[in-house]
A and B are shown apart, each in its own frame.
Chain A
Amino acid sequence: MAACKLIGMTVRHEHSTPAIVAEGLVKRYGATTALAGVDLTVPAGTVFGLLGPNGAGKTTAVRVLATLIRPDAGRALVGGYDVRHDSHRVRQLVGLTGQYASVDEMLTGRENLLMIGRLLGLSRSAAKARARELLADFRLTESADRAARTYSGGMRRRLDLAASLVGRPRLLFLDEPTTGLDPRSRNEMWDVVRDLVGGHGVTVLLTTQYLEEADQLADDIAVVDHGRIIAHGSPEALKKQTGAQTLAVRPGDAANTPLVAATVAELVGVAPDVAGSLVSARVTDPAVLPALVRRLDDAGVTVGEITLRSSSLDEVFLALTGHPATAGSNPTEPTSPTDVNGGEPAVDDPAARIPAATRS
């Protein structure tokens, strides 16, 4: 992969050098432990998703890796450079887009980009040219000369992302890039991230609260809770473990509920939850939906309502930890990291992991 070669060159190592390696990162704020020993390896040219609720430690991890704060313990190499001892070099490799768009609202979009270009050592004309390119790429040309405080939320995020790309970083940190965006802007953001990685070989570490976002973008996901990584694996493995989707059916006639429940049980392999006439079950294979429709149709059952929706982060959390994804609460018991790819035997028995309390 060309991206690997590029990054390998910059760190004077061979192609397989990971873009990020972190070992035992610890960060405390007074009595609060934001990071309680985080290990990460992000291969060059991939997207790594840190998934977790508010306050799980995702942002702290990004701030440590982007050299904004120093870890209290542990070690991290970004592009082969130690974040603690070679922070200036790390900063030359990375771009950061924060959770709250950190553009200067008093400047225009163009001036924001110009400022960063000049700070990165571009000549006046080179900085202008670069700003023009980025403004065009992010559809901001028309509003380029308006103060950024007049921008919409989506425009601000685009400007923020553009700002972190001025220096053509090899590694990009995206801290909750789509939180608070409408679906259209969110999809745009996803396309940009895909293009950055696929077309340009950039390595991306993103944090998110949305399972769907991690699923859409990441090659690897680490689920973070209370400053620890509690599960790690590919989106597929993670979904297999936790049940990616929830199927809910309500028969047109409530009298058919037992029949529907039995059919779902047969297809999914576990007994579904029944609440009134609503039958729901966690599924890993979306093909269950058409199969169920066919079976019910054959049986002459009219369906009043049928949905297949993505499991929420909350549901994944319950499945993984047994406690809901609420910020700041203490885990009832110490959770040890589960390597999803390691083939835990429990994966075969999803029912054991589906907490009934998640049903709506």
Chain B
Amino acid sequence: MTALTTTLPSQTPGTTGGAEPVGSARVTPLDALRHTATLAWRTLVQVRHNPMELLDFSVQPLMFLLLFTYVFGGAISGSTGDYLTFALPGIIVQNTLFTTLNTGTGLNTDLTKGVFDRLRSLPIARCAPLAGRILADMTKQLWAIAMLLGLGYILGFRVQTGPLQALAACGLVVLFALAASWISVLVGMLVSEPEKVMIFGFTLIFPLTFVSNAFVQTSTMPGWLQAFVKVNPVTALADATRGLLVSGPVWTPTWHALLWAAGLAAVFAPLAVVAFKRRV
């Protein structure tokens, strides 16, 4: 480490980009977008060096799909094929909601490892670390949905509506995930270590996704449970996704899901941003 000749500011004034001293006083919106894209790239590239993460958001959903189709399918619907058609939209919804936890875990890891300090000492847009993370996580969500649909196709699942409706289903699920990920961001900012985001998330998301009609028909449950299932936002989202991919009502559940998404974002986005600013 003797020759640092190339490393540092040139001592001759005028050779490092002229006499213009320091750049602008603020970040332009275009810069903010670039910073966000760079930080999203960073989150996605991490996967390359961390095969476990690839397993986490690729293999795990596929395992769930196989498990539900072949182990529970016959018992629930009488035939695995029928059950696949019913359950795949529900599995997509469930997986998407679980994946939102990664946003909170990732942010918390950056905080505890000091990466955030480094990012915040750079002249970049203040919102870029958060926005970059969310952008990357939404990309992973799309990837997971595509994989589930792909494996579903191999197992015999067919989209019975049309390509536009199928795209709308993906859009709706990702939009809902975006809104729900603010809860994950909030938790990620409040807890002391990444693992706690997971613990919190499982406790919340497990009952929410299973006590819904994502995996079984509401009518098979006891009356008191049906009351909860009917108001559960996961039911609305699962119904809408099913309607858009296979058959069934579309408009009512879609509106309900969108209203829920708007409500979640309206409540949790401001809280999460306040927590983010306080923590970093």
Contact = CB atoms under 8 A, between A and B. Distances in A.
Contacts of A103: 115, 118
A109 to B, nearest CB: 11
Given A6-B13, A100-B114, A192-B1, A106 B46 contact: yes
B203 interface: no
A118 B23 CA distance: 16
A67 B118 CA distance: 11
B49 to A, nearest CB: 4
Contact of B113 (A105, A139, A163): A105
Interface in B44-85: 45-46, 49-50
Interface stretch (B35-43, B239-247, B252-260): B35-43
B45 A195 contact: no
A55 B167 CA distance: 55
Contacts of A134: 7
A166 to B, nearest CB: 9
Given A3-B11, A201-B11, A68 B121 contact: yes
A195 B49 contact: no
A116 B115 CA distance: 11
Nearest to B46: A106
Contact of A94 (B3, B23, B45, B121): B121
Nearest to A102: B114
Interface in A95-129: 95-96, 98, 100-108, 111, 115-116, 118-121
Nearest to A105: B113
Interface stretch (B25-33, B168-176, B189-197, B206-214): B25-33
A98 B1 contact: no
B48 to A, nearest CB: 9
B199 interface: no
B9 A92 contact: no
A60 to B, nearest CB: 13
Contacts of A92: 22-23, 123
Interface string A8-21: 01111000000000
A88 B113 contact: no
A51 B59 CA distance: 51
Contacts of A192: 1, 4
Query: Of residues A3, A88, A168, A170, which shows the largest number of chain B Cβ atoms within 10 Å of its Cβ?
Result: A88
B27 A88 contact: yes
A6 B42 contact: no
B102 to A, nearest CB: 13
A163 B118 contact: yes
Nearest to A117: B38
Nearest to B118: A102
B122 A119 contact: yes
A232 interface: no
B22 A93 contact: yes
A200 B19 contact: no
A68 B26 contact: no
B21 interface: yes
A282 interface: no
Contact of A108 (B2, B27, B34, B49): B49
A68 B9 contact: no
B8 A91 contact: no
Contact of A91 (B35, B46, B115, B122): B122
B147 interface: no
Contacts of A102: 113-118
A169 B123 CA distance: 12
B6 interface: yes
Interface string B96-131: 000000000000000001111111111110001000
Contacts of A201: 9, 11
A300 to B, nearest CB: 48
Query: Of residues A89, A104, A134, which shows the largest number of chain B Cβ atoms within 10 Å of its Cβ?
Result: A104
Given A102-B118, A119-B124, 18 more contacts: A3-B11, A6-B9, A6-B11, A9-B13, A89-B23, A91-B123, A92-B22, A93-B22, A100-B114, A103-B118, A105-B113, A106-B49, A111-B42, A115-B42, A133-B7, A139-B1, A195-B2, A199-B8
27 contacts: A6-B11, A67-B121, A68-B121, A79-B22, A88-B26, A104-B115, A105-B113, A106-B49, A106-B50, A107-B46, A111-B42, A115-B41, A118-B34, A118-B38, A118-B41, A120-B122, A134-B7, A158-B1, A164-B121, A165-B8, A168-B16, A192-B4, A195-B1, A195-B2, A195-B4, A201-B11, A202-B9
Interface of B: 1-9, 11-13, 16, 19, 21-27, 31, 34-35, 38-39, 41-42, 45-46, 49-50, 113-124, 128
**Sorted from nearest, which 7 A-B pairs have the closest CB atoms?**
A102-B114, A200-B8, A10-B21, A106-B46, A91-B123, A96-B121, A147-B49
